[in-house]
């Protein structure tokens, strides 16, 4: 009713008509999806610079600084090797278990941190959101870019581990960049989903460690994937073979580990098809899901 009432007696125009005449829009209005994507692209330099600043500042107060970006996954891999490789003797069931384990840990941590940090992409930046007008999707994208930069540093160490454990350099190494591209697209969409959910559910950040630990055990990171088929019903094992982190981990092992070829969970063409599927579904679906909540972010 307020919009249909005459706002200017002299011209006889309503508020909506006056807004249209002078090009005024509702503050915080959600733009159409295509326009939103164009605005987001215009902020690509901001996202790149912001992610670099986050990486530089994240460990600036520690003595080893950025070296922790490599030491953290290496330490995790060492702990898992002690428990699963030595104590539980899973190294007997896997050729080159050290490289097998490190590849799984490094690739999984990329998705794990993107999802976990994505939950606070909105709630952790409320001051920035309320002070500036920009597409809020820039924040979960920045989260993934931060993790991608850290992963690229870890890949140098992983390559050294693979070579030192006796794996040869093959042309399949060239498959690693496209695999990482698919995983990055998947992680961006996942981070957007978690960002919107995290802005609605305050306790989600407390639940995420348990969710991610369960996801870790279901992704064939720490033990041979063949155990999934041996200890689960066939239908459950088939479902787990569609697990996105497992798909990306297996693609990375296919690219780097010549010794892993006989023990792959699926054929390479099927894994690539699944990788593309998850990148498209989560990348596009996560973006649309986040865009639909654009007007909600920063309110409280």
pLDDT tens digits, residue range 16-48? 555 555 555 555 567 889 999 999 999 999 899
- Domain positions in the chain: 1-30, 32-296
pTM of the model: 0.84
Q: Is the pLDDT of residue 267 over 60?
A: yes
90 in Cβ contact with 84 (< 8 Å): yes
- The sign one gets for the Cα dihedral 246, 251, 254, 256 is negative
Residue recorded with tokens 């190494």: 173
* pLDDT for residue 23: 54
Q: Choose the weakest-confidence range: 62-66, 80-84, 98-102, 162-166.
A: 62-66
pLDDT of residue 1: 43
pLDDT the model gives residue 2: 47
pLDDT tens digits for 208-225? 999 998 998 888 887 777
Give the three-state DSSP class for 279. Answer: helix
Q: Between the CA of residue 130 and those of 38, 45, 139, 205, 298, what are the distances in Å?
A: 21, 21, 13, 22, 6
Contact 112, 212 (CB under 8 A): yes
Does residue 109 surpass a pLDDT of 70? yes
> Pick from 276, 253, 272: which is nearest to 264 by CA?
253
């Amino acid at each position: 009713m307020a919009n249909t009432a005459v706002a200017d007696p002299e011209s006889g125009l309503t508020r909506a008509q006056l807004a249209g005449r002078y090009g005024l829009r509702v503050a915080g209005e959600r733009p159409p999806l295509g326009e939103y994507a164009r605005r987001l692209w215009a902020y690509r330099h901001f996202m790149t610079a912001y992610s670099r600043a986050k990486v530089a500042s994240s460990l600036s107060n520690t003595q080893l600084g950025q070296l922790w970006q490599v030491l953290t996954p290496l330490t995790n891999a060492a702990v898992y090797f002690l428990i699963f490789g030595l104590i539980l003797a899973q190294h007997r069931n896997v050729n080159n278990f050290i490289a097998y384990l490190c590849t799984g840990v490094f690739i999984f941590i990329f998705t794990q941190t993107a999802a976990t940090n994505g939950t606070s992409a909105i709630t952790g930046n409320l001051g920035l959101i309320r002070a500036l007008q920009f597409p809020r999707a820039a924040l979960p994208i920045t989260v993934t870019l931060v993790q991608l930069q850290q992963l690229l540093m870890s890949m140098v160490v992983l390559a050294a581990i693979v070579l030192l454990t006796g794996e040869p350099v093959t042309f399949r190494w060239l498959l690693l960049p496209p695999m990482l591209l698919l995983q990055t697209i998947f992680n961006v969409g996942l981070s957007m989903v978690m960002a919107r959910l995290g802005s609605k559910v305050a306790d989600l950040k407390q639940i995420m460690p348990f969710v991610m630990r369960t996801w870790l055990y279901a992704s064939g990171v720490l033990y041979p994937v063949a155990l999934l088929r041996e200890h689960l019903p066939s239908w459950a094992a088939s479902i787990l073979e569609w697990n996105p982190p497992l798909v990306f981990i297996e693609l990375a092992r296919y690219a780097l580990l010549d010794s892993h070829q006989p023990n792959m969970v699926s054929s390479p063409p099927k894994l690539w098809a699944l990788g593309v599927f998850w990148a498209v579904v989560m990348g596009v679906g996560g973006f649309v899901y986040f865009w639909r909540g654009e007007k909600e972010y920063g309110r409280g």
